[in-house]
Amino acid sequence: MAPHTEQLTRPAVRLRGLTRSFDGRTVLDGIDLDIPAGQFVALLGHSGSGKSTLLRAVAGLDHEVVGSGQLTAPERVSVVFQDSRLLPWRRVLDNVLLGTDGQERGREALAEVGLAGRERAWPSELSGGEQQRAALARSLVREPELLLADEPFGALDALTRIKMHALLRELWKRHQPSVLLVTHDVDEAIVLADRVLVLESGRIGLDLTIERDRPREEYRVRLLAALGVSVGSG
Ligand SMILES: Nc1ncnc2c1ncn2[C@@H]1O[C@H](COP(=O)(O)OP(=O)(O)OP(=O)(O)O)[C@@H](O)[C@H]1O
Ligand SMILES: [Mg+2]
């Protein structure tokens, strides 16, 4: 049992005093954060508060940015952005497989996101929601220990977004990666995550554990308040 205990207790992501600045302006100001393996975390914050900066740091995509602090993240990390970033000159299956082999695994991943039969389509032949599903399939074939998502549903209509929420939650349950999801949307955060963080003045201003059996409205009011939006109780 000992090795398992070690795995369970060691966080997947560990940040200590993480700092990032642009042109002398501090955007992340000493962030401390542990994300346990398998936890689904949503990150809220005003536009420009540094959410994408934090995500890019965790993804290891910010070597050009000035910063300091300690950062530990798993080896297998997948990133999903607001636009699918599919390569237009490659068919859907080839996009999903990009840089990996295993046609079968690619087909399975497409089936998992409801795109079975669309393997040979071009990205331009898919709807926005389908393109995001293909992007999710592409992240899945890499069996990530950590899935980073920066407003992945931000460009989708409300109905498609609700379907994508259900899909993401289902994929997370099945594959159990740790997730760090950046979103503007308080309701999306509460529906999806087990824990919601609010980034404020370069720090984690609020760290809220979401319990599924408690009323969502309670969390909603607290999170909106943390974001500076007051909600009348009438
Ligand atoms: N490459 C860059 N060069 C200069 N400034 C940058 C760069 N990237 C981000 N910034 C600045 O850092 C701050 C945080 O940006 P970031 O993109 O992390 O915000 P965000 O919380 O993701 O915002 P949004 O919700 O609008 O996506 C902003 O003021 C932005 O102008
Ligand atoms: Mg952003």
Q: Which residue out of 19, 21, 22 has the highest number of ligand 1 atoms within 8 Å of its CB and is therefore the one to mutate?
A: 22
pLDDT tier, 181 (very low <50, low <70, confident <90, very high otherwise): very high
| Contact (CB, 8 A) for 112 and 171 | yes
Of the candidates 126, 143, 160, which is a domain's last residue? 143
Any ligand 1 atom below 6 A from CB of 52: yes
pLDDT at position 119 is 97
Any ligand 1 atom below 6 A from CB of 131: no
Mean pLDDT of 62-87: 95
Nearest CA to ligand 1 atom 6: 22
Any ligand 1 atom below 6 A from CB of 22: yes
pLDDT tier, 234 (very low <50, low <70, confident <90, very high otherwise): very low
Whole-number percent of the chain with pLDDT over 90: 88
Residues 7 and 102 in one domain: no
Query: Does residue 5 carry a pLDDT above 60?
Result: no
Whether 65 is covered by a domain: the verdict is: yes
pTM for this prediction:
0.93
Residues 134 and 189 in one domain: no
Residues 148 and 205 in one domain: yes
Mean pLDDT of 126-139: 95
Whether 81 is covered by a domain: the verdict is: no
Task: Indicate which CATH number applies to the domain containing 154.
Answer: 3.40.50.300
Mean pLDDT of 41-61: 97
- Reference 27, options 65, 76, 73, 84; nearest CA is 65
207 backbone dihedrals φ, ψ, rounded to 5°: -135, 105
Residues 103 and 207 in one domain: no
The set of residues, in sequence order, having a beta carbon less than 8 Å from that of 147 and lying 6+ positions away, is: 77, 78, 79, 80, 139, 172, 177, 178, 179, 180
E-strand ranges in the chain read 11-22, 25-36, 40-45, 66-72, 77-80, 146-150, 178-182, 195-200, 203-209
Q: Which residue out of 29, 46, 53, 61 has the highest number of ligand 1 atoms within 8 Å of its CB and is therefore the one to mutate?
A: 53
Tens of pLDDT, residues 182-210 = 999 999 999 999 999 999 999 999 999 99
Residue-number span of the structural domain to which 108 is assigned: 86-143
